[in-house]
Amino acid sequence: MNKTLEYDCCIVGSGAGAGPVAFELAKAGHKVLVLEKGKWYKEKDFRKDEQLYRHSIFRSKIADERHLLEEPDGDEWSSDTTSQFWGGNIVGGASNFMSGYFHRLKPEDFHLVSTFGKIKGANTVDWPISYDDLEPYYAKVENIVGVSGKVVKHPFLEPRSTDDYPFPPTAEHPIASWFDNTCNQMGLNPLPMARGILSQPFNGRKSCEYSGYCGSYGCASGAKASSRAALLDQAVATGNCEILTESKVYRLTSDNKGNVTSADYFDKGNQSIKVRAKIFVVACYSIESARLLLSSPGEKHKEGLGNNHNQVGKNLHCCAGGTGHGIFQFDQFSQEQVEQLKTRGPFFNRALQDWYFINDKKAFDKPVKGGTIDFVFDPPSPTADANDQKWQGDNLLWGTPLKQKIKSHFTQSKDFKFEVFCDWLTNDNCHVSLAPNEKDKWGSPVAKVKVGFHPHDLKVASYIVKKGKEVMKSLGAKTVTGNAFTSPTSNLIAGGLRFGNDPKTSALDSDCRVHGTDNCFVTDGSFMPNGGSVTPTFTIYANSFRVADKIINQLGK
Amino acid sequence: MLKASNTINSNGSLAKKGSTKAKFVGALSSGLNRRAFLRQSSAAILIAGIAACKPDIKMPTTAEPNQPTPKTGLTDRFSFDSHQQASIKAVQIQLFPEDGDGPSANDINGLDYLEWALTDLDNQEDGDGDFIQKGVGWLDSLSEQTKGSQFIKLSLEQQNEVLQKISQSSAGENWLSLLIYYLLEALLLDPIYGGNPDQIGWQWLQHQPGFPRPNDQTNYRVFQ
């Protein structure tokens, strides 16, 4: 027999889009239920163990659920199933496994069309809100989830309502000062990077322990500002927020006015359960949120919830850009410098935004939006690193030559990395729909993700990757590689349910309410018309706090 | 961090030479997926996360993977027979020799680790144990054909010649590559998993492990 549960607010998903709503509503005294399809792991579970990540312990298995991915393949489209888009399917979602590079968007990101004009073949639109509308919420995120950093005056600094970050910067690797000197000599503006990582204990969370195993590894100290550690634990502590795990929402039902009446989920035993609530919030990652709406037709939503204008799933965007590496050979440096390079634990924490806007007539006939370069370390993965060494050109290497190559890689050089973040222009070939013939283990159609890119992205990314390589070379790297890419990033996907004032060109209104409903909101990265040229998590958090205020206002009526 | 996927489509542009299947799941994996693409060409390394480039192209004759067995503990072992054990051990010492610099395959418990790793559910689904067993038979056939005797009865020099020979084929190269993959896990994974005794691999490579490290109660097999 089916059970029914009742709450003020039911939230689907528990990641960065969900945490702020749960936190704010629970603190305001509203009864909140969070439905998470994964399990609830805690700090003690996040051991620094490559095996945890290699065996998808914290992510959905491809046998259970997957995506159907279509990518450009010459003039054709490839079509294959993949599990690569599962970023973290546990309480706190992918925010457990973020690096926490917390850049704000810039005012211009909210008005790209007005600022730079239209680009043929791109669906870019101005946002229905401005930077000023979001600024107070960036400040709120810094204070509540905990952002560590240092504001320095530079030509690209966003307007701020506060002078500085609430926490001092996390500890820095010696390479950071090399970087500052080099960039200053090159006439660039080296920026300390703010991090969603605590440099000091806060709210029962410990500060960073600098194990050097950050990024893709879960955080064992609670310093990383995951939705789980920074928000949900506190929401639950109010007594007003309940989190149900292994609860997979497969449908939202709606009434004859178009409003959502229930979220239906399968529990661990595959029993279908209905949750009734005044407000529903969907925040289960861009692709999956669009999929849930498409899977939820109703009397007023024949083609899926909010899809009367065929906007649900449209204008998905990945993160365009590229990566590069600089290999520093120890035999080219003094003993003291080598010791500095070998330091493990503190962060690189530097970024360049000198090309966030590009005004270079030699490369582009008019000013264009560019991007950010973050200088980082990859999370250590020694067995993968060693395994990479076994190929010499086309041949497999073994025996003493293999041992020597591995030894040299580990003990005679250090690899620093840069990552370039650019806008992935929204276009008619990048969207989510329901796969016709592929179902998940609960019997629901999986999402089909088509990821066409705009050639402009590659041009911008290549331009900035080249700059990153120049900096690496000047820093003293002997070998410098770098590539712009057009493949989708498997994380950092947003859009698909962009917000706007016109239901014909957007899926959500400016409050992130699903068009055609009064009581259903989407608070993950789906709302973003464009991603900004930075990682979106900080902005997702900020927007979710903004929408939480709208919801509290609505519940109070 | 950026987890860029690498485009390997049906044209297999980045796939290994001679491969018969370009495995998309692996090809597009993020840095965390163990079924990562076969090899990263130096021109196209976009990710260097925790992927470990495990070769997943098997001999054409590979049978269906073994049925996954129930939950395994840290003490389980895959069952090779004694001849297979001796042969694999002999191959492992060729792949990771005692050469005076760094631990050998024996020093890192290469065979013990392999027998344990092959009880892993994912590795079983990949059919690795079956593939490795079949490879031993194949190795012996080639040894007898070209050198007149089983692999383990050959001199070290002759063994190396046989290995060079099998590496010329795509399947043979994948077999060796898979054995190397497990040896490097034995070299560098946490000692809790049976390799890297007394952190001998970490010490040789001056690798500083993260903390907290996995332990008996909290390791990936417990969660699996």
3-state secondary structure A80-137: EEECCCCCCCECCHHHHHCCCECCCCCHHHHHHHHHHCCCCCCCCCCCCCCHHHHHHH
Instruction: State which residue of chain B sits closest to A419, comparing Cα positions.
Output: B2
- The mean per-residue pLDDT over the stretch B143-162 comes to 97
Note the pLDDT tens digit of each residue in A189-233. 999 999 999 999 999 999 999 999 999 999 999 999 999 999 999
Query: Which amino acid is residue A37, in one-letter code?
Result: K
Scanning A69-98 for CB atoms below 8 A from B yields: 69, 71, 73, 78, 80-84, 87, 97-98
Answer whether A452 touches B (CB < 8 Å). Answer: no
Radius of gyration of chain B (CA): 18
Looking at chain B, the whole-number percentage of residues with pLDDT higher than 90 is 62
What value does the CA radius of gyration of chain A take, rounded to a whole number of Å? 23
Mutation target among A86, A387, A417 for the B interface, most CBs of B within 10 A: A387
- Give the pairing of strands A371-376 and A350-352: antiparallel
Give the chain A residue whose CA is nearest to the CA of B168. Answer: A395
Nearest Cα of chain B lies from the Cα of A376 at a distance, in angstroms, of: 8
Is there a contact between A398 and B94 if contact means CB atoms under 8 Å apart? yes
- List the one residue out of A407, A551, A406, A460 whose CA is nearest residue A112: A460
Residues of chain A with pLDDT under 50: 1
Residues of A in contact with B212 (CB under 8 A): 47-48, 220
pLDDT of residue A55: 87
A417 contacts in chain B (CB < 8 Å): 48
Which residues, numbered 171 to 210 in chain A, qualify as contacts with chain B under a Cβ-Cβ cut-off of 8 Å?
209
CA distances from residue A202 to A147, A166, A234, A499, B136 in whole angstroms, order as listed: 11, 11, 12, 34, 57
Are B34 and A55 an interchain contact pair (Cβ–Cβ within 8 Å)? yes
Q: Enter the DSSP assignment of A44.
A: G
pLDDT score, position B1? 73
| Alpha-carbon gap, residue A296 to A445, rounded angstroms | 12
Nearest residue of A to residue B15, measured between CA atoms: A394
The tokens for A48 are 């620094």
For residue B11, what pLDDT is reported?
29
Kindly determine whether residue B167 and residue A492, on different chains, have CB atoms separated by under 8 Å: no
Interface of A with B in 288-327 (CB under 8 A): 319, 321-323, 325
Among chain B residues, CA nearest to A377: B1
Local structure of residue A232 (DSSP, 8 states)? I
Of B120, B177, B206, the CB nearest to A411: B206
Report the 10 Å Cβ neighbour count for A524: 29
Residues of A within 8 A of B169 (CB-CB) are none
A 224-243: CB under 8 A from B: none
Surface-to-core class of residue A61, CB atoms within 10 Å of its CB (0-12 exposed, 13-18 middle, 19+ buried): middle
Backbone angles phi, psi at A462, to 5 degrees: -65, -40
Picking from A494, A507, A496, A506, the residue whose alpha carbon sits closest to that of residue A537 is A494
Distance (Å) from the alpha carbon of A475 to chain B's nearest alpha carbon:
21
| pLDDT for res B4 | 59
Closest CA–CA distance from residue B126 to any residue of chain A (Å): 12
* A467: amino acid identity, one letter: K
Selected residues 16-55 of chain B with any CB under 8 Å from a CB in chain A:
17, 24-25, 28-34, 36, 39-40, 42-54
Nearest by Cα to A445 from A297, A260, A315? A297
- pLDDT in the model for residue A185: 98
Q: Is B99 near chain A, with CB under 8 Å?
A: yes
Burial class (CB in 10 A: 0-12, 13-18, 19+), A543: buried
Write out chain A residues lying below 8 Å of B6, CB-based. 485, 487
Nearest Cα residue to A44 out of B107, B39, B215? B215
Which of B39, B185, B205 minimises the CB distance to A411?
Answer: B205
* A493 vs A317: CA distance, rounded Å: 6
Give the pLDDT band (50/70/90) at residue B151: very high
pTM over 0.80: yes
Contacts of B34 in chain A (CB under 8 A): 54-56
Q: What is the DSSP letter of A467?
A: H
- Report cis status (omega within 30 of 0) of the bond before B212: yes
User: In chain B, whose CA is at the least distance from the CA of A344?
Assistant: B208
Interface of A with B in 259-288 (CB under 8 A): none
Contacts of A340 (CB under 8 A, 6+ apart): A174, A175, A178
Q: Do A376 and B1 touch (CB under 8 A)?
A: yes
Please compute the mean of the pLDDT values over residues B15-21 and round it to a whole number: 26
- State the nearest Cα–Cα gap between A305 and chain B, in angstroms: 31
The ipTM, to two decimals, is 0.91
- B30 and A84 within 8 Å at the Cβ level: the answer is yes
Hey, is the C-beta of A479 within 8 angstroms of any chain B C-beta?
no
B24·A78 Cβ contact <8 A: yes
What are the chain A neighbours of B160 within 8 Å (beta carbons)? 399
For residues B153 and B23, the model is more confident at B153
Distance from CA of A377 to the nearest CA of B (A): 9
Q: Which residue of A has its CA nearest to B178?
A: A387
Euclidean distance between CA atoms A121 and A242, whole angstroms:
45
Which residue(s) pair with A319 in the sheet? A423
State the pLDDT at residue B37. Answer: 29
Type of residue found at B57: I
Closest CA to A392 of A379, A382, A406, A380: A406
User: How close is the nearest chain B Cα to the Cα of A353, in Å?
Assistant: 17
Could you read off the pLDDT of B25-57 as tens digits, one per residue? 222 222 323 333 233 222 222 233 344 446 544
Measured over the CA atoms of residue B37, residue B43, residue B44 and residue B45, the dihedral's sign is: positive
Confirm or reject contact between B7 and chain A (CB < 8 A).
Answer: yes
| pLDDT at site B72 | 47
Using the CB atoms, write b or e for A132-165: b if 16+ within 10 Å.
eebbebbbbbbebbbbbbeeeeeeeeeeeeeeeb
**Contact assignment for A55 to B220 by CB distance below 8 Å:** yes
Any idea of the CA torsion for A214, A217, A219, A220, to the nearest 10 degrees? Answer: -110
Calculate how close chain A gets to B21, using CA atoms only, in Å: 13
